[in-house]
């Protein structure tokens, strides 16, 4: 291991055999944490060649537990943002199109939300399924979202825990290998990547996001997967809702053909990428089919079948999941236009209300959250509602409103809103 650390430190590429040896020792526990931490810092400072990243991703995916047999045809990964409930809408849309989607999702940490936390706000919903239950559900309904298998890409689990405590998380080669190793191990052949860009994303700069997206797409192609990536804006929350139950309610509205336009459009753009990857049909033709399954109610029907199949009380979703008892409204005092939004700060408002977790073992309150109607370029007249907070008590509600007000920058003149998709890489 000392020689591997030294080679990476000196900028000399590791061979495929050396990378296999490094990953094998990570899984078996042969290499102690301090040596792996030294190697991660060497990667952070020196980087890795594309060939090394391809080899590292493959070794992480296929060392330890065997890769899964593909359960679905399509999959999607988001790099995380505020108000990002696209999986809740996209998964039943793909099932309605006849393209089964089995997705392993994670929990929220810090200012970004987690799909599992949102689904678990539905009474009775189970995120742990046996392999037999999962296969049966995919055969009959064509959609499932479950907790990530602890056996999947075990090297990544150990390396990520070390990256988290050694200031080496935001290394593009390490991020790409981490994300794609889990996707390769999951077995799905068609993948769309939603790479968030902006002040609410882990990638604040578009050049960094583009580098990450290109590398992940190349990894996929190298390992015979069909992959494309969309760079989507995260300089404002996606949709209006930020929280858990409140985001499920908004996803349900979207599937009924209602709800925020930006959420609907982002789902359609991700869905058409997946359709194109599988069928090779033109994007415009794919888009027509996607809009049809949403507007006809087919996607909503699949949503209901999916929630019931995993034990969720769908009648509770139909009625609207209950929210925290204290409701606070922020109304515009004077006319003005939103010129900028601190999206991370809005995520932290929801976190402080109890909708998220600061550490992985923190409990999450499914009922608290907020509706933020502010969008860059939107004009408000006096008295219009800018945001609504749902809190457990008056003190937390008042604090959330104060913090939300600090997250907004107001201007006078009209502004051109940022496009939803900033780039497409395939």
Catalytic residues: 77, 156, 163, 178, 182
CB atoms within 10 A of CB 405: 12
Asked if residue 56 lies in contact with residue 223, where contact means CB atoms within 8 angstroms, the answer is no
The CA distance from 272 to 190, in Å, is 12
The CA distance from 419 to 44, in Å, is 32
Report residue 322 CA to chain centroid gap: 24
The CA distance from 167 to 230, in Å, is 27
């Amino acid at each position: 291991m000392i020689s591997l650390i030294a080679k990476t430190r000196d900028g000399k590429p590791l061979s495929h055999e050396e990378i296999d040896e490094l990953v094998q020792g990570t899984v078996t526990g042969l290499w102690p944490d301090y040596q792996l931490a030294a190697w991660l810092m060497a990667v952070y400072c020196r980087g890795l060649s594309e060939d090394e990243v391809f080899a590292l991703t493959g070794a992480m995916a296929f060392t330890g537990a065997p890769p899964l047999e593909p359960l679905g045809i399509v999959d999607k990964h988001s790099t995380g943002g505020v108000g990002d409930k696209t999986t809740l809408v996209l998964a039943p849309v793909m099932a309605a199109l006849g393209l089964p989607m089995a997705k392993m999702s994670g929990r929220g940490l810090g200012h970004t939300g987690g799909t599992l936390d949102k689904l678990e706000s539905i009474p009775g919903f189970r995120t742990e399924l046996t392999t037999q239950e999962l296969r049966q559900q995919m055969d009959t309904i064509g959609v499932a979202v479950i907790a990530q298998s602890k056996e999947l890409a075990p090297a990544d689990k150990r390396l990520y825990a070390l990256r988290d405590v050694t200031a080496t998380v935001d290394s593009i080669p390490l991020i790409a290998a981490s994300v794609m190793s889990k996707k390769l191990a999951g077995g799905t052949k068609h993948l769309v990547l939603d790479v968030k860009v902006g002040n609410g994303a882990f990638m604040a700069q578009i050049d960094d996001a583009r580098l990450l997206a290109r590398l992940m797409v190349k990894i996929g192609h190298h390992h015979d997967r069909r992959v494309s990536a969309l760079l989507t804006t995260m300089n404002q929350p996606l949709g209006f809702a930020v929280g858990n139950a409140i985001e499920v309610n908004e996803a349900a509205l979207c599937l009924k053909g209602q709800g925020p336009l930006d959420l609907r459009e982002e789902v359609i753009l991700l869905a058409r990428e997946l359709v194109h990857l599988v069928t090779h049909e033109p994007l415009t033709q794919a888009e027509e089919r996607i809009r049809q399954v949403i507007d006809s109610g087919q996607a909503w029907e699949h949503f209901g079948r999916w929630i019931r199949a995993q034990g969720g009380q769908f009648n509770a979703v139909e009625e609207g999941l209950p929210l925290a008892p204290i409701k606070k409204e922020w109304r515009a005092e004077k006319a003005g236009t939103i010129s900028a939004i601190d999206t991370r700060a809005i995520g932290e408002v929801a976190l402080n209300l109890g909708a998220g977790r600061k550490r992985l073992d923190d409990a999450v309150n499914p009922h608290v959250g907020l509706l933020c109607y502010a969008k860059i370029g939107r004009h408000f007249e006096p008295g219009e509602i800018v945001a609504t907070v749902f809190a457990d008590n008056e003190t937390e509600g008042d604090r959330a409103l104060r913090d939300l007000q600090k997250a907004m920058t107001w201007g006078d003149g009209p502004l051109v809103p940022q496009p939803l998709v900033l780039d497409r890489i395939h």
